[in-house]
Structure 1
Amino acid sequence: MTQTVAANDLSHTHVFLGDEHEANKNRTWWVIVLCGVMMVAEIVGGLMFGSIALVADGLHMSTHAGALLLAALAYSFASRHATDRRFTFGTGKLGDLAGFSSAIVLAMIALLIGYEAVSRLFAPVAIHFSEAIPIACFGLAVNIASVWLLSGGGGHHHHGHGHSHGHDDHADAHAEEHCVASGSGSLFLSIFEDGVVPRFRVRFAGMDKPRELTVTTMRPNGELHAYSMVDQGGYLESAEDIPEPHAFSARLRLVDATGPQTHNLAFEEHDHGPEGAHHRDNNMRAAVIHVMADAAVSVLVIVGLFLARAFGWLWMDPLAGIIGACVIASWSYGLIRDTGAILLDMVPDAGTERSIRQTIEAAGDRLSDLHLWRLGPGHLGAILAVETRQPRSPDFYRQQLSRFPSLSHLTVEVRQL
């Protein structure tokens, strides 16, 4: 017998927009207004005062405003058609499509800058330092203001880099870390799983390592497991791996200089992707990268112009352009890679996929098929086919997977063996 049901019931919605969708849309429009005003001022001022450099920078600002306009229109269209039934899984991916398009534009800009810079390296042209330097500084100020506006006035940080940040050996790679106060100091218990099998780690602050320390977990089904700890130098680590899911209560027992102590803690399952992996708004990310790329080029140009004027190194200006082109190309590649993967429905988070499989199979069932994809910022969709010998309904597995908050659209098929 086969049972199939959408785990968030048959009346679920298909609105998979990010939590800050409307706020990000408004910020983008404000930056477009800023860039538009600066663009008009530069072009009009250049024509009035005969500065071709000022006109050129104004035209460059127009391409900048055009890229941001693409992001703003994507936000508007996605929210306007969020409930349109023609979009089977909503409009949450529209921002990724806009981000992919912006990344292609960025790649073209990098090629144009690189071509122009190489041309000037072999055929130097006269530089009007008195005009070029103030314009570059003015452009940098506009870009800094744009980044500030796009990031919510400093309240949010959007990372445009296409890499994740590593952790040192003593850092906790899990989102949840428990601080336990002891009579002689404090200790921190966490689950470490940064590219390794999950294990408990204990680090200390203001206290010596205790003479004894054990961690015993109790899962919702009553299963108990005791973990012994091994000294790894600067921290203690459990000798055994921690099976998924990481949702259980834990009893920490230790004996230190003040005597024996017992502490009860609770761990909850969290999404395993790196910070921002499937929560990241790639439409806003693309807008920020456009601004940051322009700012980076402005900084390099300012440095190159000052060195060229001070020492007569005219080759510093095109060299700065080549470096800027390489930086923009790198950011463009990261954006194309990430948004392209989403548009092709690649698995957005291998850790979450692994945790879902282990959660289902921990009860003795078999997950014969699993599809996991991103629906929008912070929203994942999943289709599961489960084979079981127990009389279990799809609701049973919905409850098992309720600890994954990003699963916004879940369909479960159950086959009784």
Structure 2
Amino acid sequence: MIEPNHGAAAAFHSHVFLGKGHERSERKTWTVIWLCGAMMIAEIVGGLLFGSIALVADGLHMSTHAGALLLAALAYTYARKHAENPAFTFGTGKLGDLAGFTSAIVLAMIALLIGYESVARIFSPVPIHFAEAIPIACLGLAVNVASAWLLSGGGDHDHGHGHGHSHGHAHEGHGHDERHEIATSDGIVVLEIFEDGVPPRFRLRAADGSALLAQASPIETMRPDGTRQLFEMRARDGFLESIDEIPEPHAFTATVRIDEQSYPARFEEHEHAHGSTARDNNMRAAVIHVMADAAVSVLVIAGLLLARAFGWLWMDPLAGIIGAGVIASWSYGLIRDTGAILLDMNPDKGMADKLREAVETEGDTLADLHLWRLGPGHLGAIISVVTSKAHDADYYRTRLARFKSLSHLTVEVLHRS
């Protein structure tokens, strides 16, 4: 018998799967487009007024750069405006990946064109007007550096609200309620799990920075299955730290004893999207366009300077060939990653293994699992569970609640007699 996935939480939920800071990324992209557009117009108008075909050519090249960024900006805007449109069954979170895939194709074509033109110039050299070409290349590099700075944040930080659930954690993408403030008769103490690049251990310290007693009772943990463990503490510089590492998972109640009083603190394990699962490929594509232009500008400047200094005219096309190779490599990586998302490939094998482990812990069988990316930091999953127990879909939904990046979960339960 198949149990339907019922309950209010299952029947009514949001299908907005946009990445964290979506609107801020949209604003940044439009800002860079205006910068590139102004530069493009200035170069074309200046070239026509002063008779510089090189300046006009660079302005036209800048138009292709602005066009690629326009694609990213329109994807952000469209995804935001249609995020609640029911016509999109799984929301508009993948629109950025589609835009990134398209940008990657454009990048690949640009790489081919640069490579073809560079090879042609090796066999048929053309005169180089160094007095015009070098300043234009330097100007282009300056615009690209400014664009990269703006796209990467422009020195500000995102304090806005996003729809994502992507958070950075030091320990293999796990998140925890890692910090607890405990009110004691001697003041507030802080109990936390510290794992910033080191094995996880308890740390206990006074909230006001005052020294704690060098000796303290061990911290005792009790897990949901009733397993208990004692952690002896030792004095460090201004805090107490457990001698033993804390084994996974970090889901337990930790009891601290201070002045013969017991203070329980509950730690809950959460799994968040991390790495490529949380990556905004639309912004990644925009940044790659800027970086590709900047890389080519650096290579062109180096090639022009060497060609002018030593008469090595072949350095200019060689720089073009190297630049084409760099752009092609970045394009391939972007096509591979966004293509996998558009084809609904499993975005996180580690997450899939943890889902299976969470379901099968009590002897049930995960008969089928589909895991795919809905948008930056958002995953969708369909699971089919075979069990001999009287469990319904809501039971497994509760079991999987710690996987915070599962923004859309469908559960099918098959009971075996």
Question: Under TM normalisation by the shorter chain, which class is it?
Answer: 0.7 to 0.9
Distance apart, 1:216 and its partner CA: 7.9
Whole-Å separation in 2 of the counterparts to 1:41 and 1:191 = 49
Counting only pairs closer than 5 Å after superposition, residues 146-157 of structure 1 correspond to structure 2 as 146-155=147-156
Whole-Å separation in 1 of the counterparts to 2:16 and 2:35 = 31
Whole-Å separation in 1 of the counterparts to 2:10 and 2:280 = 27
Distance apart, 1:223 and its partner CA: 3.2
Aligned partner of 1:54 in structure 2 is 55
1:87 counterpart = 2:91: no
Aligned partner of 2:343 in structure 1 is 344
Aligned partner of 1:233 in structure 2 is none
Query: One-letter code of the match for 1:300?
Result: L
TM superposition score normalised by structure 1: 0.78
Instruction: Check whether the contact 1:144–1:295 (CA below 8 A) recurs between aligned residues.
Output: yes
1:25 counterpart = 2:29: no
Counting only pairs closer than 5 Å after superposition, residues 390-405 of structure 1 correspond to structure 2 as 390-405=389-404
Distance apart, 1:4 and its partner CA: 2.0
Whole-Å separation in 1 of the counterparts to 2:302 and 2:124 = 20
Aligned partner of 2:131 in structure 1 is 130
Q: Deviations over 1:181-227 (max 9, x none)?
A: xxxxxx9864999xxxxx8799xxxxxxxxxxx99864223234789
Instruction: Check whether the contact 2:274–2:377 (CA below 8 A) recurs between aligned residues.
Output: no
Q: Deviations over 1:45-76 (max 9, x none)?
A: 00110101100000000000111111111112
Instruction: Check whether the contact 2:347–2:373 (CA below 8 A) recurs between aligned residues.
Output: yes
Percent identity, aligned pairs only, is: 65
Q: Secondary structure at the match of 1:13?
A: coil
Instruction: Check whether the contact 1:17–1:377 (CA below 8 A) recurs between aligned residues.
Output: yes
Aligned partner of 2:269 in structure 1 is 269
1:4 counterpart = 2:4: yes
Query: One-letter code of the match for 1:356?
Result: L
Whole-Å separation in 2 of the counterparts to 1:188 and 1:13 = 33
Aligned partner of 1:222 in structure 2 is 226
Aligned partner of 2:362 in structure 1 is 363
Query: Mean Cα displacement is larger for which, 292-301 or 72-81?
Result: 72-81
Q: Secondary structure at the match of 1:53?
A: helix
Aligned partner of 2:281 in structure 1 is 282
Distance 1:83 1:133, change over 3 A: same
Aligned partner of 1:258 in structure 2 is none
Structure 2: segments with no counterpart, 5+ residues: 159-169, 180-191, 203-217, 232-242, 257-262
The alignment of Structure 1 onto Structure 2 pairs a total of residues equal to: 373
Whole-Å separation in 2 of the counterparts to 1:396 and 1:333 = 43
Structure 1: segments with no counterpart, 5+ residues: 158-170, 180-186, 194-198, 203-213, 228-236, 253-262
Whole-Å separation in 2 of the counterparts to 1:141 and 1:175 = 40
Distance 1:416 1:105, change over 3 A: same
Q: Deviations over 1:204-257 (max 9, x none)?
A: xxxxxxxxxx99864223234789xxxxxxxxx999985xx55345799xxxxx
Q: Secondary structure at the match of 2:67?
A: helix
Whole-Å separation in 2 of the counterparts to 1:394 and 1:188 = 33
Distance 1:239 1:150, change over 3 A: closer
Query: Mean Cα displacement is larger for which, 370-379 or 395-404?
Result: 395-404
Distance apart, 1:340 and its partner CA: 0.4
TM superposition score normalised by structure 2: 0.78
Instruction: Check whether the contact 1:173–1:191 (CA below 8 A) recurs between aligned residues.
Output: no
